[in-house]
Structure 1
Amino acid sequence: MIFIDSSKCTGCGQCTRVCPFTVLRLNQEGKAENTGKKCIACMHCAAICPADAITYDSRPAVAEKTQPLPEDCSTTVKQLIYQRRSYRRFLKKKVPGDILRAALDAAENAPSAKNEHPVRWIILESKEIRQCIMDWILEYCKENQVSMELISEYANGNNPVMGENAVIIIGICRRNSINPAQDTAIALTTAELLLQAEGIGTCWGGYLTRFLNLIPECRMVLEIPEGYEVYGTLLAGYPDRQNYRYLPARKKAEIKII
């Protein structure tokens, strides 16, 4: 619950203006107060308060004060977005766990429906488990006559499902959360951009996401809880001899203004 320390509150009203559900208001004394309405804990109020007067559940409501963005920030972000590529072949070089964790921690800052942040993560590094999952996928394809291209590609030494030497980030989410697919995609996109900024190549695992949900053995070996589903996977690693020099031509966005 949001608590405002009236001894610190200056009555500037900034917290009341940014609250998305009018949980806060200024009282007769000109101080901010909690109306008791349901709060989604977005912490906009605490992030904007100039007097550090707001706490949440008796704990500090902000981690640290932010600094103004550097002048070249927009240029750097634009360059990162345009130069992002999908990598599928990686060096046999372990991605440090602290880099993976930092990217996934940062993904908690991504927007989510009603501030639920329902996404949970599985990092798959084990070669043995990866091989078991790949064997189950190939068997499923053969038995059900689906995605048969995977069988021929794998026989030719190419693995479109898991790439080569990848660590795999798996985003799982409760099926009954408000927007599980969107929340997972936004969080994974945030993590992906941060990883690529650190020199870690990534690729979205469309095949892998689909088959992990279809094959019970995959869910079991990954210990995916009941009621959860895989909504996104990301292959990650240090790119192996993939230094792209040019931006590919893309069509312009289709936009309709009403």
Structure 2
Amino acid sequence: MLNFKVDEKKCVKCAKCVNDCPGRIIKLSDSKIPFIPADKEESCILCQHCLAVCPPAAISIAGVDPLKSVEPKSALADPEKMDALIRCRRSYRSYLDENVDAAVIKKMLDAAANAPTGVNSRGVKFSVIDSREVMLKFKTEAMKRLTELSAAGKVPEEMAFFADFAQKWNEKKIDIIFRNAPHMIVTYASKTCPTPDVDCIIALSYFELYAQSMGIGTLWCGMAKWLVSGLLPELKKNLGIGEDSVLGYFMLFGRPAVKYARGVQRKAENVNFVKM
């Protein structure tokens, strides 16, 4: 059940919900009150556009109270501040040896959960290492297995540098892959998800920008993705990721141990404006 409800006392019969519904499944009754026919309910993608577009907050769907939603007037970011946030985003490779507060991590995850997905499938899942202790255990296990793989001569030539990473870890505890980050988040989605790869990337992009606003450093960790997807797929089990899932991407995060004095300067140069 969609639990699509309309407060008829509030409804102004503007039909904005009807016109904005992506699936065009909302209809008007003879009295001009919106409703969703029972045979159309399965076509709803739960985008909540109807709830969002209704001026008097007369519509509720899936048990969501419209009065608890954020209003656009408080959501408009100052363009200059948004530009500064983007330009000051850095890839952090040095972190403080401390846990990020659980409440902060939850806020970042909630932000990522609001990222758009193909067909609003909302199929992105998150595997989160939220403590230094677990991160150390995972990293130690990864390096142990990588060392064994290297000793058995099973590291492909094109990935031979991973053997060097394992050696540096074993000899000097130099952490080239995970950068001594206290936390890690991994996105993944079901293979039945319409657009699993891009959805996972977009979700982490939302996570990263919100993290930046909270003073949390992040790093898109391609090395970890390559390690797990290319050399040690069995580590997916440690992360709670099943074989029926598409592995998205890895992101390290934590309180940064370095402070950048300014943002960088880049311009859009590789642009093709289409003319027909």
TM-score (norm 1): 0.88
User: Which one of the candidate residues 126, 143, 160 is aligned to 2:154?
Assistant: 143
User: Which one of the candidate residues 230, 245, 258 is aligned to 2:262?
Assistant: 245
Is residue 223 of structure 1 aligned with residue 232 of structure 2? no
Give the drift of 1:55. Answer: 2.3
Would you say how many aligned residue pairs link Structure 1 and Structure 2?
Answer: 257
Aligned to 1:53: 58
Deviation readout 1:80-132 (Å, 9 max, x if unpaired): 11111101111112111111111111111111111111111111231112211
Is residue 134 of structure 1 aligned with residue 136 of structure 2? no
Aligned to 1:78: 83
Aligned to 2:249: 232
Q: Do 1:104 and 1:191's aligned partners in 2 also have CA atoms closer than 8 Å?
A: yes
Is residue 205 of structure 1 aligned with residue 216 of structure 2? no
Q: Provide the rounded CA distance (Å) in 1 between the counterparts of 2:181 and 2:77.
A: 35
Residues 1:80 and 1:117: Cα distance change in structure 2 (over 3 Å): same
Q: Provide the rounded CA distance (Å) in 1 between the counterparts of 2:173 and 2:263.
A: 27
Q: Provide the rounded CA distance (Å) in 2 between the counterparts of 1:248 and 1:137.
A: 39
Q: Flag structure 1 segments of 5+ consecutive residues without an equivalent.
A: none
Aligned to 2:117: 112
Deviation readout 1:149-203 (Å, 9 max, x if unpaired): 2333551764332112331111121122111111111111001111111111100
Q: Flag structure 2 segments of 5+ consecutive residues without an equivalent.
A: none
Aligned to 2:31: 29
Residues 1:256 and 1:50: Cα distance change in structure 2 (over 3 Å): closer
* Structure 2 residue identity aligned to 1:178: P
TM-score (norm 2): 0.83
* Structure 2 residue identity aligned to 1:119: V
Deviation readout 1:136-158 (Å, 9 max, x if unpaired): 24544652234222333551764
Give the drift of 1:25. Answer: 2.7
Q: Provide the rounded CA distance (Å) in 2 between the counterparts of 1:157 and 1:60.
A: 49
Q: Do 2:94 and 2:257's aligned partners in 1 also have CA atoms closer than 8 Å?
A: yes
Give the drift of 1:210. Answer: 2.6
Q: Do 2:219 and 2:253's aligned partners in 1 also have CA atoms closer than 8 Å?
A: yes
* Structure 1 residue identity aligned to 2:175: N
- Higher helix proportion: 2
Q: Provide the rounded CA distance (Å) in 2 between the counterparts of 1:249 and 1:202.
A: 20
Q: Do 1:121 and 1:172's aligned partners in 2 also have CA atoms closer than 8 Å?
A: yes
Task: Could you list the structure 1 runs, at least 4 aligned residues long, displaced by more than 6 angstroms after superposition.
Answer: none
Q: Provide the rounded CA distance (Å) in 2 between the counterparts of 1:237 and 1:48.
A: 37
Residues 1:153 and 1:129: Cα distance change in structure 2 (over 3 Å): closer
The percent of aligned pairs where both chains have the same amino acid is: 25
